[in-house]
Structure 1
Amino acid sequence: MTIDAHQHFWIFDPVRDSWITPEMAVIQRNFLPEDLEPFLRQNGVDGCVAVQADQSDAETEFLLHLAEANDFVKGVVGWIDLCDSNLYNRLEAYSSFEKLKGFRHVVQTEADGFLLQPDFIKGVGTLIAFDFTYDILIYPHQLKEAYDFAKQLPKVRFVLDHIAKPYIKKGEVEPWATDIGRLAELPNVCCKVSGMVTEADWKQWEGADFRPYLDTVFEAFGTDRIMFGSDWPVCLVASDYGRMKSIADEYLSAFSPEERQKVMGDNATRFYNLD
């Protein structure tokens, strides 16, 4: 089974979705399962994981509703207040939703030190009781903090989104690469090869632009801890679905069929316990 381990749905709201700036006008509209499904079929993708884009309980409920109505949406990564004093009970209630697999907070917009708040660490640790995962969304300068955070929670299953958004447009590899290597030393951390085109030159990127970053990630995490994700529809600011997926396909052409299958589906299926 081929899985797109990272994509989004939304009904566009210019106030709530103010992060979608004017130069991203192509995605200033609604994106729903009926918009994605044709692209999955055209590109041989069997299912996807819908990840939160808004930090609200309504977002989690919205995604769960879409997943319930569409079989190809195999899992949901929602949002919850991980510092809520009633978190355990709220997670217990959410545990009845089979397609809810984990949670994410948009840490890339938070001040330094956010991940290391005791209440936040405690909250993420509570996910263990219900076998929920946690997606780490950060920028490169937050990788050291992410290591200190994840090291304190060895039983939580983590996945790093978008390879931590390195500065591909500038061609900068260090210190991102060193920090990626250190984070990968933690065996409970996986990595999504996703979101890369939006960190490149939107108008002029080439497949070769991504090779130093893919080499780094594959050397650090290996094919057992990497999963493919499109970051659709955000990727549309720089690429259509097929061209974006071709970056992973072309890179993986040098690997064995078994390794390719791990990255393109098996790892996501195992990590998120997808059916």
Structure 2
Amino acid sequence: MIIDTHLHLIDRNALHYPWLDTVPPLDRDFTHAEYAEEARSLGIEAALHMEVDVAETDIERETAHVERQAREAGSLLRGAIASCRPENADFPLMLKRVLANPFVRGFRRVLHVMPDDLSESALFRENVGRLGATHLPFDLCVLPRQHGQAMALADHAPATQFVLDHCGVPDIKSDAWEPWRTQITELARRPNIAAKISGVIAYADGENWTVETVRPYVEHVIACFGWDRVVWGSDWPVCRLGGGLTRWVHATQALLSGASEEERTKLLSANARRIWRLN
């Protein structure tokens, strides 16, 4: 089975997404029903909803909206990775409220569209450090130029579990192997960081990629982090910019063709169960 650790749902009638009008191919509703029909046919049996950078006033409303969908019969949703603002002084109060809801399995603050030094403030680091006692992971969505900040954040919050999204966002289209390769090696030296095999097809040249195009990047991440610290994500519907969910799942299976059954199980489901404490 596959657990998808990176599913986005978009409902413009319920929530406000300030960034959507800058990405026309994604500027529409993407529903659980649309996703689930394709996902089930590919062996995806459960999914975590990844926050979609809604307006700050809609953050907790987004979690509630997704949770209602999770209660529907046949839903694949098993939890939410919620948005947060560690740079805000009221973060501890938000965390206290959220801890009362077991549907929330982790947090993310989108950093790749923010100033590079956002995560360097003492308040940001202190608040992310609070997550260590909660066992709720923090997803890192950073560009290669921000890898240094990601390492520093992980070092300042050693008890917090981090998950590096999208293989660290390599610029595959430009074949920018370095410094990404070296930085991934350094990131993996931090035992509190895991890596998500997701998103890479969106950083290739549209649909003009093959398994061999993405293989060096995926295999380097797995080699650095090891089979116990990698998870899988669809990045749906963003993956549609690079060919779609079915093509990405088939590519993943091809990339894992030489792995053992135990290794495949760890990446596709077992590690996700452990990191996000899924039943």
- Distance in 1, matches of 2:17 and 2:68, equals 24
The match for 1:82 is: 86
* Candidates 202, 217, 220, aligned match of 2:224: 220
Residue type of the alignment partner of 2:169: K
* Candidates 260, 273, 277, aligned match of 1:273: 277
The 5-angstrom pairing of residues 93-108 of structure 1 reads 93-108=97-112
Q: CA deviation at 1:76?
A: 0.6
The 5-angstrom pairing of residues 1-275 of structure 1 reads 1-12=1-12, 16-19=17-20, 21=22, 24-55=23-54, 56-70=56-70, 71-275=75-279
Alignment check: 8 A CA contact 2:26 2:237 kept: yes
- Distance in 1, matches of 2:21 and 2:253, equals 28
Q: CA deviation at 1:264?
A: 0.4
- Distance in 2, matches of 1:262 and 1:165, equals 22
Alignment check: 8 A CA contact 1:33 1:66 kept: no
Q: CA deviation at 1:273?
A: 0.8
- Distance in 2, matches of 1:258 and 1:248, equals 15
Q: TM-score, normalised by structure 2?
A: 0.92
Q: Which runs of 5+ in 2 are unaligned?
A: none
Q: CA deviation at 1:248?
A: 1.4
Please state whether the residue corresponding to 2:34 is helix, strand or coil.
Answer: helix
Change (3 A) 1:242 1:198: same
- Distance in 2, matches of 1:195 and 1:7, equals 11
- CA displacement 1:32-57 (0-9 Å, x = unmatched): 21121111111011111111112525
- Distance in 2, matches of 1:4 and 1:268, equals 9
- Distance in 2, matches of 1:26 and 1:215, equals 29
Percent sequence identity over aligned pairs: 29
Please state whether the residue corresponding to 1:77 is helix, strand or coil.
Answer: strand
Q: CA deviation at 1:253?
A: 1.0
Alignment check: 8 A CA contact 1:5 1:229 kept: yes
- Distance in 2, matches of 1:134 and 1:238, equals 26
Alignment check: 8 A CA contact 1:9 1:63 kept: no
Q: Which moved more, 1:84-93 or 1:170-179?
A: 84-93
Q: CA deviation at 1:2?
A: 1.9
Q: TM-score, normalised by structure 1?
A: 0.93
Q: CA deviation at 1:27?
A: 2.1
Residue type of the alignment partner of 1:272: W
